Amino acid sequence: MNQRENPFFNLLFNILIPIILLNKGHLIFGSKNGVLILILALTFPVCYGVFDFIKHKRKNIISLFGVLNVSFTGGFALFKLDGIWFAVKEAAFPLLIGIFVFISAYTRKNFFEYLLRQAPIFKWPLIEEKIQIFSTENQLKILFKKATIMFSISFFISAILNFILAIYIFSEKSRPGISTNEIEIILNKKIADMTWLGFVVIGLPMTAFAIGIFWWFLKKLREITQLSMEQMLATTPSSAKKEEHPSPLPE
């Protein structure tokens, strides 16, 4: 069984540490080290993405896009490109993921099916048995396809919201007469704002959207298998252990 990713470490290395460094790094490393602070802040999510990939030994196209996204952010900042380029970049990555997910809906194994079959949360042997009994194989394929298309829509929405948010953050003009060091600090803070605002304004609603798709999928899967929620979902290791070794009855 694949070891699950720790959501706390994901949040810590991809969001919290970079934001703290970008916002307060100049107080620790000095106001003349804006580029160093930027590189250090971007190193955490890049290293975490690479480490997670090596540790779990699985191909994850979204994680790959995440590493590339962070790398492009750093490159744009180092070259001090205009805000419109940050907006295009912020929209491009979820757009590309959405296109990838949408195209997969018309392939032999779509993205949503791959995602769920990799997660150890379903009793797939039992589900497949019921699918064969009720001859609902085609309905299951259609269900996976619809869920994948709906999932791709969430990325398209994210692309639009990312573009609007990036335009709002990066289009703000710096006041005239400020030094290069101050410009670097301001840019770092803008990247920090884009990181945490993107997580709150975009990430959380998109997560809720994905959860809604998942529950819709569960409801439809129950209809074509005639299984209850408890029957479809895999038991946790702890609960399975309790079932194998029930406590003795009192004398």
Query: How much is the pLDDT for 237?
Result: 45
Query: How much is the pLDDT for 175?
Result: 59
Query: How much is the pLDDT for 182?
Result: 80
> How far is residue 47's CA from residue 53's CA, in Å, rounded to a whole number?
10
Least confident of 94-103, 114-123, 138-147: 114-123
pLDDT band at residue 37, thresholds of 50, 70 and 90? confident
Query: How much is the pLDDT for 63?
Result: 62
- Average pLDDT over every residue of 95-123: 91
Query: How much is the pLDDT for 70?
Result: 77
pLDDT band at residue 243, thresholds of 50, 70 and 90? very low
CA 42 to chain centre: 17
Whether 231 has a pLDDT exceeding 50, the answer reads: yes
Higher confidence at residue 49 or residue 107?
107
Across 141-180, b (16+ Cβ under 10 Å) vs e yields: eebbbbbbbbbbebbbbbbebbbebbbebbeeeeeeeeee
Return left, alpha or beta for 135; rule: phi > 0 is left, psi -120 to 50 is alpha, else beta: left
- The set of residues, in sequence order, having a beta carbon less than 8 Å from that of 153 and lying 6+ positions away, is 98
Q: Where are the domains of the chain?
A: 7-234
- The set of residues, in sequence order, having a beta carbon less than 8 Å from that of 162 and lying 6+ positions away, is 87, 90, 91, 94, 198, 202
Query: How much is the pLDDT for 112?
Result: 92
Residue identified by tokens 């699985």 is: 58
Higher confidence at residue 241 or residue 22?
22
Among the listed residues 230, 213, 212, the one whose alpha carbon sits nearest the alpha carbon of residue 222: 230
- Average pLDDT over every residue of 132-155: 95
Highest mean pLDDT among 68-77, 80-89, 224-233: 224-233
Whether 239 has a pLDDT exceeding 60, the answer reads: no
- The set of residues, in sequence order, having a beta carbon less than 8 Å from that of 4 and lying 6+ positions away, is none
Query: How much is the pLDDT for 1?
Result: 45
Alpha carbon of 165 to those of 33, 76, 195, 239: distances in Å?
Answer: 27, 17, 11, 44
Strand partners, 233: 122
Query: How much is the pLDDT for 3?
Result: 58
Query: How much is the pLDDT for 242?
Result: 45
Please give the span between the terminal C-alpha atoms of the chain, in angstroms, as a whole number. Answer: 39
